[in-house]
Each structure stands twice: as structure tokens, then as C-alpha cells.
Amino acid sequence: MIILDTGATRALAEGHKTLNLLAGNMARTPGDLLRIPALCLMRAESEDAGAADRVLAFSSVVIDDLSPSASVAVGTMVRDGYGGPDTCHALYCALPRAEFTGMSILLTDREQHYPPGVVTVGIDSPGMLGFS
């Protein structure tokens, strides 16, 4: 599962070349989706009017809702100092879940905001996800 945090979501909305290429390639592969935590989308939209519309135009993008159990977990993470609501929702989405198998990859522009053990990939790192 590939997750975009707020910074990656804004970058996709702003036309980040590699992220746009990734979103386009994933649209051609059935079952491959980019997941954006709802609170990351909310923050991206609050910082850049129209960002949500531009991101949701990609058929490969889905939103990870903030369910009641997720809201409790995210609230606990915020209270425990793991970051703001959007960062904690992205972190929650990256944790192992029964409905997803395999490793989650969190695409971000701020790898240092996530604790060790979370697989993060900087959106501007050379060769991100095999693309140049």
C-alpha cells in the first residue's frame, strides 16, 4: 500500500513530475491505488485551495476515511506527541492492518517526522520508487 502524507499530497496537486508519473502508471494497473489519509487531504486543501480537486482527479487516488476507531487511535497519537492530526493519520494508515497485506510505503517530503520502523520514502529522493 502506498500512502501520501500532506506534503506528498500537495506535491501531487502541484504537478510533482515523479508523483504524477506514479499516479498515471498506477491508474493503468488494476488494484494499484495511492491512499491519502482524509486529514492529510483536509490539511492540503486548507493550505492550497483546489488541491483536493486536482488530486481527486486521478483515478488511482483513494481517500482513507477517519473511522471511529481510527479517530481514537489518531487522537491518542497526537496526545502522545507523534505530531499533528494529519501526520498521525498518515502514521496510522502506515501501520499494519488486517485488510492490507504486505508493507506500507509512506511517501513524504518530511521523512524526519515519522518514527523509526515506518517505511518512508522522500518524494524528491533520487530514483523514488524506481522512477527518475
CA–CA separation, 81 and 105 (whole Å): 22
Write down the pLDDT at residue 127: 64
What percent of the chain lies above the pLDDT cut of 70? 95
Nine-digit cell string for 83: 505530531
pLDDT at 129 over 70: no
Residues composing the chain: 132
Say which residue, 112 or 98, is predicted with more confidence: 112
Tell me which residue of 88, 94, 52, 53 sits closest to 73, measured CA to CA: 88
Q: What is the mean pLDDT of residues 47-75?
A: 96
